Amino acid sequence: MSVGRRLARLAAHLQDPRKVAAFQRLCGVEGPSGWAGAGQRGPVANGGPAGGQAHPAGNTAGNGAVPGAAGPPRPWSRRPRRNSLTEEEDGSQEFATRSRFLYYLFSLGTELGNELFYILFFPFCIWNLDAWLGRRLIIIWVWVMYLGQCTKDVIRWPRPASPPVVKLEVFYNSEYSMPSTHAMSGTAIPLALLLLSYGRWQYPFMFGLILALCWCSLVCCSRIYMGMHSILDVIAGFLYAILILVVFHPVVDLIDNFNLTYKYAPLIIISLHLALGIFSFTLDTWSTSRGDTAQILGCGAGVACGSHVNYITGLQLDPPPHALPLSLSSLTVTVFGKAILRLLIGVIVLLLTKVAMKKATIPLACKIFRIPHDDVRKARQRMEVELPYRYITYGMVGFSLMFIVPCLFHFIGLS
């Protein structure tokens, strides 16, 4: 058998949704009663459930079980996690899990690739640890996520079929599956953090390496546990992120210096990111991935422009050269308290900025392009609304992160 055929067979084996379902069963996840039988009716597009009525997940009798007899721990029933744009009922059946620990552990893992994590991690890094490091992490994160989202819309592989897979969340069920952008982010951020911080910060290399591997493993395994990706999707995302890191890590200093020092950098940055957003919107029909792409590009543009304004106004966020290498040994209760206070105040400002810009941009875009905005969910599925709303809103969030909030800290004495 040729190498090509062997690789094709291996890829088909790793893409098999039954492997995902087997991992879920190993972790104690159970679908509704009759779930395995439902799988014989065949899956629908993009991981949706097959037709037919599903029974409640709490019914665990059958298969020779004797009512009242001692058995395994009682399953804990849950509904799939959703978001505000999740309209379809795909994968909305109740599921059960016999291990709350694994459910919460892998929920934490999957949150390491969601907006809540980003809006806490990047600000904390920039305001409290090292702005130099935070800017470079965001540059790498933007390119990793942009290329990952666009690749999804080019390859167009569906999510794992359900059944046999149990969907524990439907946040991104309308997106395609290959590669896993959670796996890409969960690989790129910890590895980039290690590459950029080692030597600049004082810590044992093995500690950083073990932390990066645990972080990456948790995120990757969580996507299989949640039923959102096949094993092949996760492996491809992991390898793709490493490839992008190999390309961008050597030039990240050049990109950051350009953003800071070049006179026309803001104009070029805004135009480039906007053009990349428009291109990504032409790849496929609406899905949450298009909005996420515009959101990521807007955030990257806002951070870059804020960094440039910091540079030309002399607002110095980077630690002075004589303080290098940095160390956590000087951490005191006062320093920790100020860090938490900065994070709390700053994140509130970012959330207020996001809400205010959302309230302003969606109706304005609908008015300019004459799109009815009675149903905001449907209006946001139009490129004329989604692209400017996400790009402008998260551009302002990124700008606030780098310039407005640090100015506020300087004004109130929290610098």
pLDDT tens readout for residues 238-264: 999 999 999 999 999 999 999 999 989
What would the pLDDT profile of 35-88 be if each residue is shown by its tens digit? Answer: 654 443 334 445 554 444 444 444 444 444 444 444 555 666 656 555 544 454
CA–CA dist 180, 190 (Å, integer): 16
**First-to-last C-alpha distance (Å) of the chain:** 65
Residue keyed to tokens 């599903």: 54
**Which of 25-29, 57-61, 237-241, 362-366 has the least mean pLDDT?**
57-61
Beta bridge partners of 169: 81
Residue 77 belongs to what H/E stretch?
A: strand 76-78
CA–CA dist 115, 118 (Å, integer): 5
Residue 229 in tokens:
């990706």
Looking at residue 37, what is its pLDDT? 41
Torsion, Cα 388 391 393 398, to 10 degrees, reads -160
Residue predicted with more confidence, 270 or 375: 270
Looking at residue 329, what is its pLDDT? 65
Looking at residue 294, what is its pLDDT? 84
Mention every residue, 6+ apart, whose C-beta is less than 8 A from residue 3.
Answer: none
Residue predicted with more confidence, 37 or 115: 115
Residue predicted with more confidence, 116 or 79: 116
Q: Say what the pTM is.
A: 0.82
Q: Residue 364: pLDDT band by 50, 70, 90 thresholds?
A: confident
Cis preceding-peptide flag for 67 (omega within 30 of 0): no
Strand 76-78 versus strand 95-97 pairing type: antiparallel
Residue predicted with more confidence, 335 or 187: 187
| C-alpha distances out from residue 220 to 69, 117, 121, 169, Å | 38, 16, 19, 15
* Residue of 130, 291, 250 lying closest to 200 (CA atoms): 130
Count of CB atoms situated within 10 Å of the CB of 88: 13
CA–CA dist 19, 25 (Å, integer): 10
Residue 95 belongs to what H/E stretch?
A: strand 95-97
Q: Which amino acid is present at 73?
A: P
Looking at residue 60, what is its pLDDT? 42
CA–CA dist 361, 348 (Å, integer): 20
Looking at residue 66, what is its pLDDT? 43
**Which of 77-86, 100-109, 327-336, 381-390 has the least mean pLDDT?**
77-86
Q: Which residues are catalytic, by number? A: 182, 229
Cα-based angle 15, 116, 95 (whole degrees, multiple of 5): 50
